[in-house]
Amino acid sequence: MSGAQCWALNDGAKDMRAADLCIGGLLTLAGALIAYEGHALGLGQLREPGPGFILFWTGLVLAGLAATIMVTAPFAKRAQIAGVPLREVRWAKLAILIATLGAYAAALDPIGFIPATVLMLLVLFRTIDPLPWLSAVIGAVATTAVVYVVFGLGLGAQFPMGLLGNG
């Protein structure tokens, strides 16, 4: 395909080509590693397949299919990414959301369910189409209280108490 034709593609199609190249490449590598791991675990024989038998063959098939995606990516004409083009994605919000969930997982044990949940909700309320501070604080505290009463006290879910005592 000539450079002129490539430039004629819209942003969604160009993003898709780039993504297919990258993802196809990564999955080809992953497939090869899985096949290697399967081989290392032991293929066994057909009359008694080993623990690596299926992993090996699935890895090979995965590598082959992913390589096909990678190789054919530059020739794809119609494929478009879903939603908005990559340069229009609100990456900061997505990153904050993912980081907040990760931080929640990290904080749950040491500081406990109630403080961690209040903090997580506060960040989320202020990040996704931000609420005013007062509403965010009240919402975070009230939601945590209701959830703790329903799930923790009512249904007996075992939440870590962290700073607030023994759970």
Partner 1 sequence: MDTVQSLMVGFGVALQPINLVYCFMGVFIGTLIGVLPGIGPVAAMSLLMPLTFHLTPEASIIMMAGIYYGAMYGGSTTAVLVNIPGEAASIVTTLDGYQMAKQGRAGPALGIAAFGSFIAGTVAVAALTVAAPPLASIAVKFGPAEYFSLMVLGLTILVYLTAGSILKSLVMACVGLVLGLVGIDQISGFPRMTFERMELLDGVGIVPMAMGLFGIAEILFNIEQRQQRSLVGERIENLLPTREDWKQSAGPIARGSVLGFLLGILPGGGSVVASFLSYALEKRVSRHPERFGKGAIEGVAGPEAANNAAAGGAFIPLLTLGIPPNVIMALLLGAFIINNVEPGPLLMIKHPQIFWGVVCSMYIGNAMLLVLNLPLIGLWVRLLKVPYNLLFPLILLFCAIGCYSTSNSIFDLYVMVLFSLIGYLMKKFGYEPAPLVLAFVLGSMLELNLRKALILSQGELSTFVTRPISATCLAIALVLLLTALLPILRRKRETIALDAT
Q: Quick check: helix, strand or coil at residue 79? A: coil
Report the residue number, 6 or 97, with the smaller CB distance to partner 1: 97
CA nearest neighbour of 74 among 5, 145, 154: 5
Total residues in contact with partner 1, by rule CB under 8 A: 67
Report the residue number, 8 or 95, with the smaller CB distance to partner 1: 95
Neighbours of 120 (CB within 10 A): 19
Report the residue number, 42 or 74, with the smaller CB distance to partner 1: 42
Which two structure tokens, joined as six digits, stand for 108? 């749950």
Interface of this chain with partner 1, residues 41 to 80, rule: CB under 8 A: 41-42, 45-55, 58-59, 61-62, 65-66, 68-69, 72, 79
d(CA 128, CA 55): 41
- Angle CA(32)–CA(27)–CA(100) in degrees, nearest 5? 130
Report the residue number, 1 or 91, with the smaller CB distance to partner 1: 91
Question: Using CB under 8 A as the criterion, what x/- string covers residues 77-106 for binding partner 1?
Answer: --x-xxxx---xxx--xx--xx--xx-xxx
Which two structure tokens, joined as six digits, stand for 110? 């040491």
Q: Least Å distance between CB 4 and partner 1? A: 25
Half-sphere exposure of residue 3: CA atoms within 13 angstroms, side-chain side: 0
Q: Quick check: helix, strand or coil at residue 45? A: strand
Amino acid in the structure at residue 103: A
49: part of which helix (H) or strand (E)? strand 48-49
Report the residue number, 4 or 82, with the smaller CB distance to partner 1: 82
Residues in touch with partner 1 (CB under 8 A): 16, 19-20, 23, 27, 31, 34, 37, 41-42, 45-55, 58-59, 61-62, 65-66, 68-69, 72, 79, 81-84, 88-90, 93-94, 97-98, 101-102, 104-106, 108-109, 117, 120-121, 124-125, 128-131, 139, 143, 147, 151, 155-159
